[in-house]
A and B are shown apart, each in its own frame.
Chain A
Amino acid sequence: MKYMIAMFGSASEMGATKTPEWINEMIAFMIDIDVRLRASGEMVYNEGLADGSQAKVVRLENGQPVATDGPFAEAKESIIGFWIVDVASEERALEICGEIVQWSEVVELRPVPAGPPVQ
């Protein structure tokens, strides 16, 4: 079963509120979980994202696409990275989330539904 694990937070706030030791441990964790998810064959894809302040939102206004600059929400509601994992169960996906949330404000888990049956 495929899931998207989305991590929320603000890197620039982290720099101001955490100790260098905490940041070093966080980096070690992020590298380690990458290695483990790849080794177990559960990693499909992952990316870290630029800060939410770099985001643009595009809406249709009077039929024309209009792009607006961020920020749009509280930093802790802004996505900062994501993983797509292919795991045996939701329980396992939640286990991974439980590790990540130690280092993140909020983690969201979302199933990636299987496609329609192949003809």
Chain B
Amino acid sequence: MSSDRAVVDLLRELAPQVVGMLARRHGQWDLAEDAVQEALLAASAQWADAGIPDNPRAWLLAVASRRFIDAVRSDSARRERENTVAALETRGEVSDHDDSLTLLYLCCHPALSQPSQLALTLRAVGGLTTAEIAKAFLVPESTMAQRISRAKQQIRAAGLAFEPPPPAERAERLAVVLQVLYLIFNEGYTPGSRTSASGADLTDEAIRMTRMLRAGLPSNGEVAGLLALMLLTDARRPARELADGMLVPLADQDRSRWVAPLIAEGVELLDATLGACPVGPYQLQAAIAALHDEAATADATDWPQILALYTVLEQVAPGPVVTLNRAVAVAMVDGPRAGLALLGTIAAEPGIAHTHRYDVVRGHLLELAGEPAAAAEAYRAAMRGTASVAERRHLALKVARIAGS
């Protein structure tokens, strides 16, 4: 079993490198990616029995090249392009990091819809098979295959080449890449998201790809911040859900189940980054996560410091969700009434007022303020608004406990 796991890990690591090498050699990165996908499937079948070859990357490159050339030849409409392929010369020395980054930028191109960005990134950069991605998103494999093929068509139609974005656009494009990686992480972390044995763990995949991104951009503070945020959040995963699927809020979690090495790595990364780089929203959110993770008990949480960080975050990246979180911190520092007063200021914001998150926070603060009936009403409103069955059950219990007390 462990050797199967080793094969999968190795294939996922090598996949973007081989796509990059092939795309650089021949152009037509979308065909290259298809060829690599076929090579990955062949490898996972053969290596499990025959063992991992001495030079796995060369093996994959050889098989993928073969498939690539077959695909180009079999398509008579592409004959002309074949000549162009032959005429293409390999550009100068480019590292694997650069290739993987170029691929990541391309998969997260703003011309693509968000579901397409997520799916394409997981396949081309993450090296996951279409079947694995489909299982992770709980959609039929044919749906996911179609989504990926349409995303590639969109990239072709937009005339995008396999090259890094121009320097002037890079910061903006990196922001989209970070957002896509964070969305993949959250997709895996969402309560009640079911992971079948053969489906990929999207949280782990997001962390792996963010590590890869960091290897290519080691001095970028927000890349480090996002990685730290993921590690510090993932550290709490074993404690956030009971065996029966019930959610456990942060304050009630068994902190002995938090993963200490992940916390240590996240904190170390954050310490090396904060102050050394321009501060951004991911670093700030990671710093807040670190304060929660470092508190031995919920009561020991450094709420004044968390409130200070949310105040900075609100200036750097203002938005109703940040204000919502700041209201919780205000309540912990200055009392529930102060938190409720801050909530009142965003009650009319169209993006937040009728979301279940708003109602959950309102219910929590009303409960703290000693207004059980109003709290139960807010929780019931949240139950009507949530799309998560796990969260709805958690809220139903809260309401029932209030009603019974």
- A residues sitting closer than 8 Å to B (CB atoms) are 11-12, 14-20, 22-24, 27-28, 31, 48, 50-51, 53-54, 81
Contact = CB atoms under 8 A, between A and B. Distances in A.
A31 B245 contact: yes
Contacts of B399: 12, 15-16
Contacts of B387: 50, 54
Main secondary structure of the interface of A (DSSP, over half): helix
Contacts of A27: 244-246, 393
B360 to A, nearest CB: 13
A83 B123 CA distance: 30
Contact of A16 (B386, B389, B393, B403): B403
A54 B384 contact: yes
17 contacts: A11-B396, A14-B396, A15-B376, A15-B383, A15-B396, A16-B376, A16-B380, A16-B403, A19-B404, A20-B401, A20-B404, A23-B397, A51-B384, A51-B385, A53-B384, A54-B384, A54-B387
B395 interface: yes
Contacts of B400: 15-16, 18-20, 22-23
Nearest to A18: B400
B392 interface: yes
Contacts of B379: 15
Nearest to B379: A15
Nearest to B381: A12
A45 B403 CA distance: 35
A20 B404 CA distance: 8
B115 to A, nearest CB: 18
A12 B384 contact: yes
A12 B383 contact: yes
Which interface residue of A17, A20, A28 has the most chain B CB atoms within 10 A? A20
A27 B246 CA distance: 9
Given A19-B404, A23-B397, A51 B383 contact: yes
A15 B386 contact: no
Nearest to A13: B380
Q: State the 9 A-B residue pairs at the shortest beta-carbon distance, nearest first.
A: A15-B399, A48-B389, A15-B396, A51-B384, A12-B380, A12-B383, A20-B400, A53-B384, A50-B387
Interface in B365-382: 376, 379-381
Contacts of A50: 385-387
